[in-house]
């Protein structure tokens, strides 16, 4: 998958300090993948509830936590601790996995048995089982050896404690199991606080000597404590937090049969020589200070926060070769550093640390989880290392932001970020299968009530076979050393004249409300700048559910309110400042429940401008009563579309017939309205289902009525399906997203859609940016959208800057004008003639305008007047001349950049947005014909 990388600046680590000394802070420097280069491509996402035994409620909690695969590569085996079973998944065809049943642990042991890990060895499955059942002071567990062919238990081995993970050596001689004997987070040890260590008995490692016959396997405990409970010398000297209670977590074995095990709560790593069962080394994972991250739960993606020295407290661990160790620093009771680290296994020295770069990957891909900002952020938990096609890769999973980052670790001291893979919620088990060119990621979060279901995610490794990768489809640029923070894109609009530009807006999940500029000429689409919405000079938090770019460089925003009366349409100028408010009629808002405005679009301009809005759901007689049988104003399956005449302030209303649904808890609603041309509206209609249950994700076509409805009537519009977006959403191989929320037609008639990730609340977090064809093909009979295909290009202006100092010069260029036509350039609002220019033979203009020194500071408009008095406009901000001023000014903005999640020094973010709007927001007005 060709993936545009992060810039080096985006991955800067401000200060990485380990063990009290400055560590080598080599960065995850990205590299451009060559076209056709081998990469990982998602092929399928299998929800494990579909593999539940007959008679078990599909809504029951069921997870896929840790996975293994049979030696022939045909069957994935996963642990389901919540369901107290292990599951089987046929992956012979990675694009079409098939559930292959389960083993209920109650049938082979006890009702409280929970699997913690699983491994495949020859003809057998090694299932690690926790039998503790909540008796923390009397931990117990066993290893069940199951013949894969007939799924029968051939041997059970007492592990003498509560187990966690298992690993098998590359030569098949050994298996190692971490016996964690985990603490009771509700218990208070003497002299400590609730959940503190030590809580005995202490943990250790069990080592099995393997062979062809399970009956002959040996088992030896490798203790970390002396018989009197004191730590052995190697452990005592390691500088661990509480060495009398080691709590081993995760195990990994290299080709030299050296076992490495993390002691997460103790912030340590232990090395065991398996042939001799000797603990040969132990060291602290150290502490790290990280800057440039978000540390407050406030809906702001503010990358100016930091954490002081915090213990890494690694969870998973993997060897890179035989002399380096990689850890995912999830954190536990005292720490967590939002990244991953590479250690020298011989010395314990840090040779590389991700610093803030892992966290910033989440931000750049719209996956930042604000709910975790004040805790452990994206929380890297799962980690694995494997070689594919001769290249060693590290796979690091974010438990809270639902992705797996892939790194080339050919040089373990300088990992290179290669690509990001979306996953379902809570990815933990990372299983590379190089022999099958397969990566298996199992997720542990499951809540049927919210539609969040645990799944096995499959990715194939190989060369790109399609013209575009399925993921990611949209990312943000790096500006001022940090990625532009974004999430919850709930609205789209095409740029009036620039075919490569589209705008998007965040909903209430992000504060302050932000309008983003997208470059859709690239794949993935790039968020290039962010513009906070302000009111009275203050950044505001609104629920933007509709967006329309205006010809003057400003925007119309559809605001969904918490109450009916709070639903309104706002007009902004090019700087994002609210300059106009359009209220909905009281007779409408009195019947709006929590589902209000979900889109705004416009046709015409000036005195002929009309706004069209969509209300998501029907009007209720009593908006406090909205159940299935509640009384509605217009009918249970009738939403409203409104038309607002900007000049007169008059509203007209039309009915939109919604599809019906028989699914419990589901409903149909509208999510967007977009003018395709002066006679055609596109409307998103969808259900509220996701994953395999998703059924209706459509863009419909509605013809604009030619007449105004009579008072007291509600004409019902006819609709036809223009786009069934469900196949496109499912084609990504991922979890089918619920909220298809944005739809736009670009200046060249290209159609785009986007899903709202709800800021990861009850959602996987993946944003799908869709390319849905051309307007003249999808909506035949129209003009194909603004500047419709097949028509001559409309005249347009591009300014050399978004702002200019009074008395300064401004470059004005144009295209699409009639050859040889004389064009008069003016500065408005009080018209001042700047001069005249003659269009060249190819319709181009090139003019240098001198802005009068007496021009008042503020928003102005450059107006090109054509011979037929048609006008073309472009927004410009004039700034006051300072002492000695006279040259052209650069773009400026006084917006609160920290509120956008961007480093305050990066004023270029908003300035670039204003420049884009001011320099290119031009549109020749088209009057609607009767």
pLDDT one-digit tens code per residue, 249-294:
999 999 999 999 999 999 999 999 999 999 999 999 999 999 999 9
Query: Across residues 143-153, what is the average pLDDT?
Result: 97
Q: Could you give the CA distance from residue 641 to residue 622 in angstroms, rounded to a whole number?
A: 20
| Whole-number average pLDDT of the chain | 89
Please tell me the distance from the alpha carbon of residue 73 to that of residue 75, in angstroms, as a whole number. Answer: 6
Judged against a pLDDT cut of 70, whether residue 478 lies above it is answered with: yes
Backbone dihedral angles phi then psi of residue 308, each to the nearest 5 degrees: -75, -170
Cα–Cα distance between 68 and 181 in angstroms, integer? 23
pLDDT score of 860: 85
**Torsion 231-236-238-241 (CA) sign:** positive
State how far the Cα of 741 lies from the Cα of 785, in Å rounded to an integer. Answer: 20
pLDDT at position 135 over 90: yes
- SS3 label, residue 402: coil
User: Quick one: pLDDT at residue 811?
Assistant: 86
Instruction: Name the least confident of 17-31, 127-141, 251-265, 552-566.
Output: 17-31
Burial letters 762-775, b for 16+ CB under 10 A, else e: ebbbbbbbbebbbb
Q: Which residue would you say has higher pLDDT here, 711 or 65?
A: 65
DSSP element (H, E) containing 234 = helix 233-236
Q: Give the model's confidence band at 782: pLDDT under 50 very low, under 70 low, under 90 confident, else very high.
A: low
What's 692-758 look like in SS3?
HHCCCEEEEEEECCCCCCCCCCCCECCEEEEEECHHHHHCCCCCCCCCEEEEEECCCCEEEEEECCH
Distances (CA, A) of 110 to 134, 136, 143, 159: 13, 17, 13, 16
498: pLDDT strictly greater than 70: yes
The set of long-range contacts for 648-655, using a CB threshold of 8 Å and a minimum separation of 24, is 651/584, 651/585, 651/588, 652/708, 652/709, 653/588, 653/709, 653/714, 654/705, 654/709, 654/714, 654/715, 654/716, 654/717, 655/714, 655/715, 655/716, 655/717
- Quote the pLDDT of residue 930: 30
What pTM did the predictor assign?
A: 0.85
Higher pLDDT, 42 or 2: 42
Q: In this model, does residue 455 exceed pLDDT 50?
A: yes
Which pLDDT value is given to residue 793?
Answer: 55
Lowest mean pLDDT among 193-197, 361-365, 628-632, 655-659: 628-632
Q: Respond yes or no on whether the N-terminal peptide bond of residue 512 is cis (omega within 30° of 0).
A: yes
Pair 246, 267: CB distance under 8 Å: no
**pLDDT category of residue 803 using cuts at 50, 70 and 90:** confident
Q: How confident is the model at residue 711, as a pLDDT?
A: 87
Mean pLDDT for the stretch of residues 349-364: 98
SS3 411: coil
Q: Supply the pLDDT for residue 912.
A: 53
The whole-angstrom separation of Cα 261 and Cα 268 is 8
pLDDT of residue 843: 86
d(CA 237, CA 248): 17
Expressed in angstroms, the distance from the first to the final Cα of the chain is 50
What the block records as the tokens of 196 is: 């503190």
3-class DSSP assignment, residue 265: helix
Say if residue 897's pLDDT is above 70: no
Task: Say how far apart CA 618 and CA 616 lie, in whole Å.
Answer: 7
Q: Report in angstroms the alpha-carbon separations of 433 from 318, 424, 451, 568, 631.
A: 15, 19, 29, 53, 56
What is the pLDDT at residue 865? 94
Phi and psi torsions of 691, nearest 5°: 60, -145
Whether 891 has a pLDDT exceeding 70, the answer reads no
530, 900 Cβ separation under 8 angstroms: yes
pLDDT bracket for residue 827 (50, 70, 90): very high
Please say if the pLDDT value at position 905 is more than 90: no
CATH number at 492-779: 2.120.10
Least confident range from 119-128, 131-140, 799-808, 839-848: namely 799-808
pLDDT of residue 28: 37
- Please say whether the beta carbons of 64 and 56 come within 8 A: no
- pLDDT 10s digits, 374-402: 999 999 999 999 999 999 999 999 999 99
Better-predicted residue by pLDDT, 921 or 276? 276
The pLDDT value recorded for residue 829 is 76
Longest CA–CA span in the chain (Å) reads 99
pLDDT in tens, 659-704: 999 999 999 999 999 999 999 999 999 999 999 999 999 999 999 9
pLDDT at 928 over 70: no
One fold for 492-779 and 796-879:
no
Q: Which residue has the tokens 């132990």?
A: 282
Identify which has the larger pLDDT, 353 or 14.
353
Residue 24: predicted pLDDT: 30
- H helices of 725-869, in order, are 726-730, 775-778
Q: By mean pLDDT, which of 212-216, 254-258, 883-887 is the weakest?
A: 883-887
* CATH architecture, range 796-879: Sandwich (2.60)
Query: Is the predicted pLDDT of residue 911 greater than 80, yes or no?
Result: no
Q: What is the pLDDT of residue 551?
A: 84
Cα–Cα dist 693/715, whole Å:
33
Supply the pLDDT for residue 904.
38
Helix/strand/coil for 372: helix
Find the range with the poorest average confidence among 34-38, 105-109, 415-419, 717-721. Answer: 34-38
Distance, C-alpha 316 to centroid of its chain: 23
15 pLDDT more than 90: no
Which whole number is the average pLDDT over 916-923?
A: 44
Residue 521 has pLDDT above 90, yes or no: yes
Give the residue extent of every domain in the chain. Answer: 492-779, 796-879
């Amino acid at each position: 998958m060709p993936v545009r990388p992060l810039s080096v600046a985006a991955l800067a680590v401000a200060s990485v300090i380990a063990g009290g000394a400055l560590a080598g802070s080599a960065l995850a420097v990205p590299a451009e993948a060559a076209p056709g280069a081998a990469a990982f491509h998602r092929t399928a996402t299998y929800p494990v509830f579909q593999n539940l035994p007959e008679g078990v409620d599909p809504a029951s909690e069921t997870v896929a936590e840790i996975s293994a695969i049979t030696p022939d590569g045909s069957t994935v085996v996963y642990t389901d601790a919540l369901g107290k079973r292990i599951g089987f998944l046929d992956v012979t065809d990675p694009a079409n996995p098939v559930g292959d049943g389960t083993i209920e642990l109650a049938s082979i042991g006890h009702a409280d048995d929970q699997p913690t890990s699983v491994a495949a060895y020859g003809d057998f499955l090694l299932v690690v089982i926790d039998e503790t059942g909540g008796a923390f002071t009397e931990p117990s567990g066993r290893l069940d050896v199951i013949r894969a062919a007939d799924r029968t238990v051939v041997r059970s081995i007492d592990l003498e404690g509560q187990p966690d993970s298992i690993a098998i050596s590359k030569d098949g001689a050994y298996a190692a199991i971490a016996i964690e004997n985990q603490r009771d987070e509700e218990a208070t040890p003497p002299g400590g606080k609730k959940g503190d260590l030590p809580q005995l008995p202490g943990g250790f490692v069990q080592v099995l000597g393997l062979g062809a016959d399970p009956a002959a396997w040996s088992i030896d405990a490798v203790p970390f404590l002396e018989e009197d409970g004191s730590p052995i010398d190697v452990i005592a000297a390691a500088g661990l937090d509480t060495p009398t209670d080691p709590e081993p977590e995760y195990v990994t074995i290299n080709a030299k049969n050296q076992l490495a095990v993390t002691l997460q709560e103790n912030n340590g790593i232990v090395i065991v020589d398996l042939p001799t069962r000797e603990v040969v080394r132990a060291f602290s994972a150290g502490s790290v200070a990280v800057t440039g991250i978000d540390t407050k739960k406030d809906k702001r993606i503010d990358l100016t926060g930091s954490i002081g020295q915090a213990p890494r407290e690694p969870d998973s661990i993997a060897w890179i070769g035989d002399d380096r160790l990689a850890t995912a620093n999830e954190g536990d009771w005292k720490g967590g550093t939002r990244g991953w680290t590479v250690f020298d296994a011989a010395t314990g020295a840090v040779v590389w640390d991700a610093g803030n770069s892992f966290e910033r990957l989440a931000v750049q891909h719209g996956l930042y989880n604000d709910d975790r900002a004040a805790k452990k952020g994206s929380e890297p938990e799962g980690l694995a290392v494997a070689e594919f096609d001769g290249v060693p890769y590290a796979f690091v999973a974010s438990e809270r932001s639902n992705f797996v980052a892939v790194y080339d670790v050919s040089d373990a001291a300088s990992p290179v970020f290669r690509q990001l893979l979306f996953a379902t919620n809570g990815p933990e088990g990372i299983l590379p299968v190089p022999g099958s060119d397969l990566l298996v990621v199992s997720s542990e979060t499951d809540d049927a009530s919210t539609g969040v279901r645990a799944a096995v995610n499959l990715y194939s490794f190989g060369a790109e076979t399609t013209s575009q990768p399925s993921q990611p489809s949209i990312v943000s640029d790096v500006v001022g050393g940090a990625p532009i923070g974004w999430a919850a894109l709930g609205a789209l609009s095409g740029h009036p004249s620039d075919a490569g530009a589209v705008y998007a807006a965040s909903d209430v999940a992000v504060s302050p409300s932000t309008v983003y500029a997208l470059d859709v000429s690239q794949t993935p689409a790039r968020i290039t700048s962010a513009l906070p919405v302000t009111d009275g000079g203050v950044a505001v938090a609104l629920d933007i559910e509709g967006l329309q770019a205006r010809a003057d460089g400003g925007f119309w925003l559809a605001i969904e309110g918490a109450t009916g009366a709070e639903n309104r349409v706002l007009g902004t100028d090019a700087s994002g400042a609210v300059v106009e408010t359009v209220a909905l009629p009281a007779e409408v808002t009195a019947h709006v429940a929590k589902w209000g405005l979900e889109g705004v679009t416009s046709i015409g301009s000036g005195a002929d401008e009309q706004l069209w809005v969509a209300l998501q759901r029907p009007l209720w007689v009593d908006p406090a009563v909205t159940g299935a049988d509640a009384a509605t104003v217009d009918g249970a399956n009738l939403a409203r579309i409104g038309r607002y005449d900007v000049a007169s302030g008059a509203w007209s209303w039309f009915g939109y017939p919604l599809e019906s649904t028989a699914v419990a808890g589901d409903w149909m609603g509208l999510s967007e309205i977009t003018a395709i041309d002066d006679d055609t509206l596109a409307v998103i209609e969808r259900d509220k289902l996701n994953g395999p249950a998703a059924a209706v994700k459509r863009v419909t076509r509605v013809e604009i009525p030619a007449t105004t409805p009579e008072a007291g009537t509600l004409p019902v519009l006819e609709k036809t399906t223009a786009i069934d977006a469900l196949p496109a959403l499912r084609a990504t191989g991922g979890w089918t997203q619920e909220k298809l929320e944005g739809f736009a037609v670009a200046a060249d008639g290209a159609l785009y859609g986007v899903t709202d990730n709800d800021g990861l609340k009850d959602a996987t977090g993946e944003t799908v940016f869709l390319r849905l064809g051309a307007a003249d093909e999808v909506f035949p009979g129209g003009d194909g959208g603004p500047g419709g295909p097949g028509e001559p290009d409309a005249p347009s202006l591009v300014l050399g800057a978004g702002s200019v100092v009074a008395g300064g010069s401004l470059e004005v260029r144009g295209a699409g004008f009639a050859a040889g036509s004389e064009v008069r350039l003016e500065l408005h609002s009080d018209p001042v003639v700047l001069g005249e220019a003659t269009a060249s033979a190819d319709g181009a203009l090139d003019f240098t305008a001198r802005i009068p020194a007496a021009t008042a500071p503020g928003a102005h408009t450059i107006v090109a007047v054509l011979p037929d008095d048609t006008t073309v406009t472009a927004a410009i901000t004039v700034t006051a001349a300072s002492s000695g001023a006279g040259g052209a000014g650069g773009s400026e903005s006084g917006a609160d950049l920290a509120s956008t999640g961007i480093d305050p020094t990066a004023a270029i973010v908003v300035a670039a947005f204003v420049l884009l709007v001011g320099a290119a927001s031009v549109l020749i007005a088209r009057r609607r014909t009767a």
